[in-house]
């Protein structure tokens, strides 16, 4: 098990740095579509973490799976709230007619 952990840790670190660089270079005009894509990825993460938490193989995997479910759900809800707020900014305001 120890020999499998190190390559997975390397992959995680590389994915983190690549993700940060990709997100940092996105123009502000594309933030709303990017947030929608992030929400879709988080939905996949929720499904995976529910599966991991539901297996209950070890106490650690159950706790980490539950934490992953909570973190992904917070990310999804926050993303939708931010997207909704950004889209509301582009709606035309109704003018009051006398």
In a domain, 95, yes or no: no
- In the chain, the number of structural domains is 1
In a domain, 3, yes or no: no
In a domain, 71, yes or no: yes
pTM to 2 decimal places? 0.59
In a domain, 34, yes or no: yes
Domain boundaries, position 76:
30-89
In a domain, 47, yes or no: yes
The DSSP string of 1-14 is: -HHHHHHHHHHHHH
In a domain, 35, yes or no: yes
In a domain, 57, yes or no: yes
pLDDT per residue, tens digit, the chain (98 aa), is 567 778 888 888 898 888 778 777 777 666 666 666 777 777 888 888 899 889 888 899 899 999 999 998 998 888 788 778 877 877 777 766 66
């Amino acid at each position: 098990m120890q020999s499998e952990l190190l390559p997975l840790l390397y992959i995680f670190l590389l994915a983190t740095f690549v993700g940060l660089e990709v997100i940092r270079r996105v123009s502000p005009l594309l933030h709303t579509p990017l947030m929608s894509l992030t929400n879709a990825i988080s939905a996949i993460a929720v499904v995976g973490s529910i599966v991991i938490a539901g297996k209950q193989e070890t106490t650690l995997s159950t706790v980490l799976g539950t934490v992953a479910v909570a973190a992904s759900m917070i990310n999804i809800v926050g993303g939708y709230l931010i997207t909704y707020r950004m889209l509301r900014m582009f709606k035309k305001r109704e003018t009051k007619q006398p």
